[in-house]
Amino acid sequence: MVERSIKKRRRKLLRDLAAHADGRHDVKIPLSEVAPALDIKGFAGGQKFVDRDSPVYEGGSDIAYDFNTLREEGLIEQAYLVHERDRAAGVVYKNPGVKVTAAGLQALLEADKSWLTRAIEKGPMTFLQIMVTVLIAIVTAVCGWLVGRYLTPVGRSSAQPTIVIGRIIIETSDDYLSALSTLEVDPNEYESYGEYDSAVMDQMDSWLRHLDDPKELKALFYKCLLESKDQSETPQEQLQWINPYFESRNLVMYRLAAMKTPDAAEVLVDLYCDPTAGWDAHASEMAGDAVVKCGRPALPFLKKRAASGTHIPWLIHLIESGAETGF
């Protein structure tokens, strides 16, 4: 049995595709249903899933990258739902789609198995070995709870970022917020303000890329909004300091835009149209730019709200005209 390691984001995408195919490997799914921003384009190096608005052989949006990675791993295949003959008797392919392969369905089954099931399949275990393994797991969990309950110093926050060999692991919005507390935001600790700005913003952006659930990102946005309001009375000497919570709101908007999925686009437009989101003049411009960069996936949600904001028709116009930025 072939075992495949699938990252969380791509595993979710593969699971969604399998659900559209009703768990079958012979069903062709139209891209217009699962990834309307994507298309299939042929290059000298072969066919690729590409962004419909800006097709490139390498790079592109997160969702284009994930589709191509799953295809390279043999978990999905490109497909066309319509084949026609032209006047020269050549085949014309229309309505691009995708199929989940048998290996892709098998990979999902493997991912859903418990650690104990996988361990038994790798090497048969006796009943006594199983009981000992479970007992060790229980004792380890209890010891961990006791250490956290009675040995954690008073006043230390219980929400600490997970650190593995010097690398912070971000899996939830709370992990991200905890990681912000580790940032050095004093510009005097850097050689120049340019280095300071680049280092802090790049670090936050790299952490944020680990979050790929639009609902989780929406929750993070409002948590950062609340924190940025709590820090509104900034001392005079810190006015030039980066407020990581305020900047994180903008980064969340661009993260949602880069995903280019219908779920992410809906959350993005909801945040843009929320009058309580705290958009001042510059932040509002950046939010609009993020919506435009999201592109066509945002159009259905913008058109539903076309009458609720004076800037929305302009954003619709920019996207439909192929603009790449809202500035």
**Helices 281-294 and 312-320: angle between axes, nearest 10 degrees:** 40
What is the predicted pLDDT for the residue at 46? 83
**What CATH number does residue 83 fall under?**
1.10.10
Q: With pLDDT > 90 as the criterion, what percentage of the chain qualifies?
A: 24
- How does the average pLDDT of the chain come out, rounded? 79
| 230 and 144 in a common domain | no
Tens digits of residue pLDDT in 52-98: 888 888 878 888 988 999 999 999 999 988 877 666 656 667 889 99
Residue 217 lies in a domain: yes
- The CA–CA distances, whole Å, from 95 to 46, 75, 105 equal 18, 21, 24
What is the predicted pLDDT for the residue at 58? 83
Residue 208 lies in a domain: yes
| 129 and 15 in a common domain | no
Residue 1 lies in a domain: no
Domain interval for residue 207: 169-320
For the segment 235-241, the average pLDDT, to the nearest whole number, is: 66
Choose between 284 and 269: higher pLDDT.
269
Domain count, the chain: 3
Contacts 24+ apart (CB under 8 A), 147-155: none
Residue 238 lies in a domain: yes
For the segment 273-289, the average pLDDT, to the nearest whole number, is: 81
What is the predicted pLDDT for the residue at 294? 93
| 313 and 219 in a common domain | yes
Q: With pLDDT > 70 as the criterion, what percentage of the chain qualifies?
A: 74
| 146 and 248 in a common domain | no
Q: Considering only 32-36, 37-41, 73-77, 228-232, which range has the smallest mean pLDDT?
A: 228-232
Residue 160 lies in a domain: no
Give me the phi and psi of 83, to 5 degrees please: -125, 120
Ramachandran quadrant class, 323 (left: phi over 0; alpha: psi -120 to 50; beta: rest): beta
| 141 and 93 in a common domain | no
**pLDDT tier, 300 (very low <50, low <70, confident <90, very high otherwise):** very high
| 139 and 103 in a common domain | no
| 285 and 196 in a common domain | yes
Residue 286 lies in a domain: yes
Tens digits of residue pLDDT in 132-177: 666 776 777 666 656 555 544 443 344 444 544 345 677 888 888 8
- Does residue 256 carry a pLDDT above 90? yes
